[in-house]
Amino acid sequence: MRRHLLLMAATATAAVVTLAGCGSAGSSGTEAPASSAAGAGCAPVTGDKLVVLTDDKALQNTDNVIPAINKKASSPQLIAALDKVSAALDTTKLIDLNKAVDVDRKSSKTAAQEFVTANNLTTGLEKGPGGNITVGAANFSESATLGEIYALALTGAGYTVKVQQIGNRELYEPALEKGEIAVVPEYAATLATFLQGKVDKAGKDPSSTDLTTTVTNLTALGEKVGLVFGKASEAQDQNAFATTTAFADKYSVKTLSDLATKCSGAATILGGPAECPQRPKCQQGLVDVYNFQAGKFSTLDSGGPLTKTALKNGTISVGLVFSSDGALAAG
């Protein structure tokens, strides 16, 4: 299970339908946004490499990687060690870490050790009070790798650390509150929305396209449940839209604004999970924020192998992916 609350996993059955008025969106039977595009659009282009189009109007919220910490287990030295990890981590490096594990088939421990060594993350750390602590991780490889990186940094700060892969947020977040685990790698916007649902379901969505706003709201929510946070890294794992590099080069598109301006029209095929046409961070958001109008929608998966294969094979023009996917690594 991925960490995002904005899109749930969808059917694996692929189908392509024309968007006309309120037509269906693939095999799901859900309705898609009406298309008023009159342009020719941009037909898919096959290619082995994928590239994310820049979200230049900030459609997506700030899902930056951030250490979430049980307040009672916290210490200045623990936070300093985790902040050093955050300072070294950006989206490009996170993509490379995911490639090492998901594509090159290294273990999370090996990838973490290589990252810690390359970035000198244990050099000069002040020793904390020590003792045994557990770093939690969710049940997907990126979280496991980040958990191993946190563990190595905290070991350098004098702690005896083990990593425990627990499951989804509904399982590991209560364990963090109780102190059964001390630290977990989290995602700022999604965790803020999750905690808001626990603290006050009727309250305003605390996530934002502005990182400072998101972290401020997250910090306030954390205080209510006994959590504190290290600094947010520059690394983001959020919903994103990708094309092949061949497509981007052919049509000269680098941003989602470029896509909307140059590729709205009948030939353009958007791919994603069945619920994408109605989601404010998927097709509906592309319509509302960018005025992008796809000619067709293909029901695939949520940033998974069906979508990436469809992009590379030239079945779709643009598809929903996760911004830190190892398939996006350069070279």
Report the residue count for the chain: 331
Encoded amino acid at 145, one letter: T
pLDDT in tens, 50-88: 999 999 999 999 999 999 999 999 999 999 999 999 999
Cα separation, 83 vs 168, whole angstroms: 24
Q: At what angle do helices 91-98 and 108-118 cross, to 10 degrees?
A: 140
Written as six digits, the tokens of 232 are 């947010």
Give me the percent of the chain exceeding a pLDDT of 70: 88
Residue 6 scores a pLDDT above 50: no
pLDDT at 278: 93
Domain annotation for the chain: domains and CATH numbers? 15-59+238-328 (3.40.190.120), 65-229 (3.10.105)
What secondary structure letter does DSSP report for 57?
Answer: T
Q: What is the mean pLDDT of residues 252-256?
A: 98
Would you give the end-to-end CA distance of the chain in angstroms?
28
For residue range 11-35, list pLDDT tens digits in order. Answer: 333 344 444 333 333 333 333 444 4
